[in-house]
Amino acid sequence: MSSVDAAWWRMDRPHNPMVIVGVLRLNRAPTLKALRCVIGERLLAQPRFRQRPVHCHGADFWAVDAHFKLERHVVRRVLTAPAGEAQLEVLVGQRVTQALDAAHPLWEITLVPMADGAASVLLRIHHCYADGLALIRLLAEVSAGDPEASLAAGTGAAPYTPSPPVAQAPPGLLDDLMLLLTQAARAVDGGPQQAADSPAHAGGAGGAGDAQTDLSLLAAHYARVAVALGAEIIRLAEMPDESPTPFKGKPGPDKCIAWADPLPADRVRQVARAFGCSINAVLLSCLAGALGAQLRSLGTDPRKVEIRVLLPSPLRSARRASAQAGNHFGLVNLALPLGITNPVARAWEVHRRIEALAGTRQALLMHLLLGVVGLLPGELQTRALDLLAGKATAVITTVPGPPSARYLAGSRIDDIMFWVPQAGDIGIGISILSYDSRFRIGLMSDSALLPQPRQVLDRTLAEFARLLPLAQVMAEQQAGVLAPTEN
C-alpha cells in the first residue's frame, strides 16, 4: 500500500469518515442482477476492489478478501413513500456518516429505485482506494457510450476487454519513499534526469569518478528536496489561524448534504471568456460570494474575514494520467475573498490567487508530505494529519467528468453528483463536477457548523446569475458591438 494511500486511510475520524459519496441518476431502473453483472465483470477487473487495507507488523498493505462476495457490496434499497427527491436526500445524508465494514473491501454500491420508474445508484468508496480523477476514469471503464455496450457479456453486449493495468508503485516502504522523493526532486529543481529517474544509478557501469559525481549530484538533489519539504512544514506550522467564523469549530456526528441545479457548461464558459478568467475561478468566486452572504446573514461581516480552503491539485505524469486507483494529487491552500461584493472584481481576484498558486510547488510538496506522514507511527501520524487539515475551513474539489452521456447496465446516466469527505476537523466539503455539458455543485457540511447547505448553493446560483448579464455586456464590448462609453 502506498504511503499516500495509507495516509488517506488513516485520516478517518468518527465525525469525518474519509468516504467519497456519489449518486448516479439513471433514466430507468436496471435490475439488481444486471447491475451486479456489470460491476462483477468491469469493476472487479481492477484487483484493488477485491482487497481491503490492513495494518500488520507496523506496515499498511492491501490484502485480498478471502471471503469476498459481490452480493455484500452491490445491494438494493427501497425508499420510504413517496420515493422522491426528499427521501433520496435523507438516505444520502444518513449514509455519508456510516462507516464501511473494515472486514471487507471499503466500497458499496446501492441501487435505489425511484417512484417515477427512474433509479439512483448510491456509491460509497473510501478515499484510500482512489482520488476523484481515478474514480471518473473507473466510471468510464464501468459504463459505456451506448446502452448495449453498457451491459455485461451474456446480456446482449459484446465481450468486455478491460483496459491494460497501470504499473503500480514499487513495494516496500523504502522504495515508496524513494519514489516520492524522486517525484519531488523533479519538481524542486528539475535535477539530473538519470539520477532522478534511478536512485541506484550511482552504482552503474561508469567509472569510479563518474559514480562519485553521480552520488554528489544525487545527494545535492535530495538535499534541496529536504530543504523545500522542511520549508513547507514550517509554512504550515507558522500559518496564522483563520479569522473565527461560524463555519469553523469542532464537528459533530451529523452531516447535511445538498446539491444545486445544474449549470449549463456553455454559460459558464461564456462568463469565463468574457472576464478572462478560468472556469474554476468563476465557480469558486460564486461560492465565495455565497459563503460571504451566508456569514452576513449570521451576523459576521465578510469584509473582515477570509477563510482558507484546501484545493486538490492533480499531479501530472503518464502513470497518473491513466490510473484507475490510488491517490495522485496534492493540496494547495487558497484564501477566498469573501468580502469583495463586486462579482467581477471578486472573480478576477480569485483567478489571480489561483494563478499565483499554480506557479508554486505547494501541491507536489504536500503530496510528498502526505507520503511521509503515511510512514509515521499512529500517534505521530494523527498529529501530522491534524496539522495539515487544521489550517482550512473547507475542502473544494473540481473534477472533470465524462463530456457526453454514459450508460450503466443498459440505463442512461442522466446526472452525476458527488460529495467530498473532509479531513480532521474541517466541517465543509464542496464538490464541483462536470458531466454531459453541465456543472453540478454538491455540498456536505457539519450540521453544527452549517445546518442549511442548500442556502449556500442557492446563493451560489444567484451569484452566477448576476454574472451572466455582465458577461454579455463585456462580450459585446470586446466584439465591438457596443463601444465603451467615456467617463
Q: Give per-residue pLDDT as tens, 40-66.
A: 999 999 999 999 999 888 788 999 999
Task: Locate 443 and state its grid cell.
Answer: 455540498
The Cα angle at residue 296 between residues 291 and 301, in degrees rounded to 5: 105
The closest alpha carbon to 393, from 426, 430, 371, belongs to: 426
Sign of dihedral through CA atoms 440, 446, 450, 452?
A: positive
DSSP state of 304: G
The closest alpha carbon to 4, from 60, 64, 63, belongs to: 60
Beta partners for 13? Answer: 16
Beta partners for 332? Answer: 311
Return d(Cα 76, Cα 478) in angstroms, integer.
54
Task: Locate 79 and state its grid cell.
Answer: 425508499
CA dihedral in degrees (61, 62, 68, 73; nearest 10)? 110
More confident residue, 87 or 215: 87
Task: Locate 221 and state its grid cell.
Answer: 538533489
The closest alpha carbon to 410, from 30, 89, 50, belongs to: 30
pLDDT at 16: 84
Pairing assessment for the beta strands 263-264 and 428-435 based on DSSP bridges: unpaired
pLDDT at 179: 59
The closest alpha carbon to 169, from 328, 391, 375, 366, belongs to: 328
pLDDT bin (cut points 50, 70, 90) of residue 161 is low
Q: Distance between terminal CA atoms of the chain? A: 64
Relative orientation angle of helices 173-189 and 3-10, to the nearest 10 degrees: 100
pLDDT over 70, % of the chain: 80
- Helix/strand/coil (H/E/C) assignment for every residue in 417-447: EEECCCCCCCCEEEEEEEECCEEEEEEEEEC
DSSP secondary structure letters along 374-414: TTS-HHHHHHHHHHHHTT-SEEEEEEE--SS--EETTEEEE
Kindly report, residue by residue over 348-361, the tens digit of the pLDDT.
999 999 999 886 77
| Among 209-223, 387-401, 410-424, the least confident range | 209-223
CA distances (Å), origin 279, targets 41, 199, 267, 388, 396? 36, 40, 10, 27, 14
CA distances (Å), origin 24, targets 90, 92, 397? 16, 12, 18
- Asked if residue 208 has pLDDT above 60, the reply is no
Tell me what the mean pLDDT of segment 264-291 comes to.
Answer: 95
Task: Locate 486 and state its grid cell.
Answer: 467615456
Kindly report, residue by residue over 224-236, the tens digit of the pLDDT.
766 766 776 676 6
Cell 473491501 belongs to residue = 105
Amino acid at 443: L
Tell me what the mean pLDDT of segment 202-220 comes to.
Answer: 57
Tell me what the mean pLDDT of segment 135-161 comes to.
Answer: 83
Buried b (16+ CB within 10 A) or exposed e, 46-65: bebbbbbbeeeeeebebeeb
Return d(Cα 401, Cα 135) in angstroms, integer.
10
Kindly report, residue by residue over 421-434, the tens digit of the pLDDT.
988 889 999 999 99
Q: Are 168 and 324 in contact (CB under 8 A)?
A: no
- Give the contacts of 250 (CB within 8 A, at least 6 positions apart): 425, 448
Instruction: Count other Cβ atoms within 10 Å, centred on residue 118.
Output: 16
Q: What's the predicted TM-score (pTM) here? A: 0.84
- Asked if residue 171 has pLDDT above 50, the reply is no
Return d(Cα 332, Cα 354) in angstroms, integer.
9
- Give the contacts of 310 (CB within 8 A, at least 6 positions apart): 331, 332, 333, 334, 389, 392, 394, 395, 396, 423, 426
pLDDT bin (cut points 50, 70, 90) of residue 324 is confident
- Asked if residue 166 has pLDDT above 70, the reply is no
More confident residue, 176 or 353: 353
pLDDT bin (cut points 50, 70, 90) of residue 202 is very low
pLDDT at 160: 62
Buried b (16+ CB within 10 A) or exposed e, 314-332: bbeeeebeebbbbbbbbbb
Kindly report, residue by residue over 284-312, the tens digit of the pLDDT.
999 999 999 999 999 999 999 889 999 99
Q: Exposure of 297 by Cβ count < 10 A (0-12 exposed, 13-18 middle, 19+ buried)?
A: exposed
pLDDT at 192: 36
- pLDDT mean across residues, the chain: 84
pLDDT bin (cut points 50, 70, 90) of residue 122 is very high
- Give the contacts of 418 (CB within 8 A, at least 6 positions apart): 20, 21, 22, 23, 123, 132, 399, 431, 433, 442
